[in-house]
Amino acid sequence: MSKPIVATASLAGCFGCHMSLLDIDDRILKLIELVEFNKSPIDDIKTFTKHCDIGLIEGGVCNTENLHVLKDFRNNCKILISVGECAIMGGLPAMRNGISVRECLEEAYINGVTVGENKKKIMPNDEEIPIITDKVYPLHEIVKIDYYLPGCPPRADLLWQAVVALVTGDELNIPYELIKFD
């Protein structure tokens, strides 16, 4: 039987959740025996080359590119998992929610106290740049999400136990210390 295939992505996240995945230390050797990685920053495969069993997504949706990647993952993964606070509730990027996009951009590029010289008052507006969404969305408000792994980042042991449980079909009993929102 071929190994289950895992894909990962970071949308509006900080890559902390991916770092936490690397924090499983030498168990990463067991992990690559258990699963095969496809599209992921870990192996640098940029596009899906086959249908995947598990998709792990960190970060919420803050722009049209995130939206595209998220839908691509939903179409290509049997099981999609929200990993970390940003994927689950928008996280720190969602602190801009409730503030208009114009106000945010003006603060960042024109009015902010740390803005350098911008006499022409230019805000990024190139068609190559993904459009910022009106607010940062949690993943499950856009596509169906099957499981959630909270934490900022989710503890390495939580990621490890969850992935192993999914792959082996064993029951997952999460100890109290592993479910944290920070």
Partner 1 sequence: MSEKVKFTIDGKEYEGEKGRLLVDVAAENGVYIPVLCHWKDVKPAGSCRICTVKVNDRYMTACTTPIDANMTVENKTPELEDIRKAIVEMLFVEGNHFCPACEKSGDCDLQALGYLYQMMVPRFPYAFERRELDAKSPKIFLEKNRCIFCKRCIRMIKDDKGRSFFAFKGRGKHLEITIDEKLAANISEELAQEAMKICPVGAILRKEVGFSTPIGQRKYDKVPIGSDIEVLQK
Q: Which residues bind partner 1 (CB under 8 A)?
A: 82, 85, 88-92, 94-95, 97-99, 135, 138, 140-141, 145, 147-150, 152, 174, 176-177, 179-182
Query: Which of residues 36 and 106 has its CB atom nearest to partner 1 in the complex?
Result: 106
Query: Which of residues 32 and 143 has its CB atom nearest to partner 1 in the complex?
Result: 143
Q: Which amino acid is at 94?
A: A
* Least gap, CB of 66 to partner 1 (angstroms): 17
* Least gap, CB of 181 to partner 1 (angstroms): 4
Residues in contact with 37: Cβ distance below 8 Å, sequence separation at least 6, in sequence order? 5, 6, 7, 8, 43, 45
Query: Which of residues 56 and 89 has its CB atom nearest to partner 1 in the complex?
Result: 89
* Least gap, CB of 38 to partner 1 (angstroms): 25
Alpha carbons 157 and 149: distance in angstroms, whole number: 11
Query: Which of residues 24 and 88 has its CB atom nearest to partner 1 in the complex?
Result: 88
* Least gap, CB of 152 to partner 1 (angstroms): 4
DSSP string spanning 48-113? Answer: --S-EEEEEEESBEEEHHHHHHHHHHHHHEEEEEEESHHHHH-TGGGGGTTS-HHHHHHIIIII-T
